[in-house]
Amino acid sequence: MRSPLLFLSLALVACPSEEPEPEGCVPSNATAAAECVDAVVFEADLTLLAVERSTGGAGWQAAQDHCRTVLTDLGFEVEDHEYGTGTNVVGTKAGSGTSRGAVVVSAHYDSVDGCVGADDNASGVAGALGVARALASGSWHHDLVVACWDEEERGLVGSRAWADRAAAAGDRIEVAVSLEMIAYSDDAEGSQTFPTGFDAVFPDAVEAVEANGSRGDFIGLVADEAADPFSAAFESFAPASLPTVRIDVATALLNSPAMGDLRRSDHASFWAHGIPAVMVTDTANFRYGGYHCTDFADELSRLDLGFAADVVRATASAAADRLADAG
């Protein structure tokens, strides 16, 4: 049986015009940004999105429409970026700086065929919209871009099309953040694994996880060296209940085939152009058998919504830190 609180959450999503006005929580700084993340509305977004979203299907269209509605209602300038085989929904809130770039917070809204994809990647989309809701009424130096990418499951097609266009236009992007599966946590010993040979390239990350009993209870930050300011801010603002593990990828390795397991989401579309980018992830199949519904269904009941809300709060604070930076 669903709780009355969940029914209230669904009502908030179903009636966008009745949502609280963004002015109700004004994030004056990075710390305040976390306080503007509404865990109840995040859960409502996630619940609405946690249906099969294979490209062209009803759930896919509903997710696309929901991204558009939320961003429009928040006052973003929204573009349907149609690139031939799909549609990205991209919202922009202009900053006030004279030398501004863009801070991009994004997630892919498609799922693999036959899989609900609650963690992959309804959780990421709900997280990106949660960041948009938290930061929409703030005054920032840089532009805030919140994007829902299409066709990630077909090879990062949507994000690549947008990143290619941005690079060709010479657009300045401070950092591109990809929320890729942010809601599964497992505190059982031995629940976290790594790709073969990972310890030889990233020994510090592996050592930190093994020292904690190889528990899958942390959020991973996979980033290039130029994205360090975002990663450092995320770590700084993450609550004590949210352990973080950083995987800092050397510039020389960013586009190496050997890094295939670290290039499986939309941040890699930006790495291809030398744009600072971060993947925020619960590590997918390296702790979660529901990835692509391989061992069991990737459904809402398996997710840790408190863990996910903490990820959204830390992301909002780190994004706010970067948005406010005039350097």
Q: Is this prediction's pTM over 0.85?
A: yes
Contact at 8 Å (CB) between 112 and 295?
Answer: no
Residue-wise pLDDT for 176-194, tens only, equals 999 999 999 999 999 999 9
Q: What are phi and psi of 236, to 5 degrees?
A: -65, -40
d(CA 150, CA 164): 15
pLDDT beyond 70 at 19: no
Q: Stretch 91-95: mean pLDDT, rounded?
A: 98
Residue 246 and residue 278 in contact, taking contact as beta carbons nearer than 8 Å: no
Type of residue found at 51: V
Q: What is the pLDDT of residue 272?
A: 96
pLDDT recorded at residue 258: 87
Band (pLDDT 50/70/90 cuts) for residue 305 is very high
Burial class (CB in 10 A: 0-12, 13-18, 19+), 260: exposed
Q: In 3D, which of 247, 270, 323, 249 has the Cα closest to residue 149?
A: 270
4-324 adopts what CATH topology?
Answer: Aminopeptidase (3.40.630)
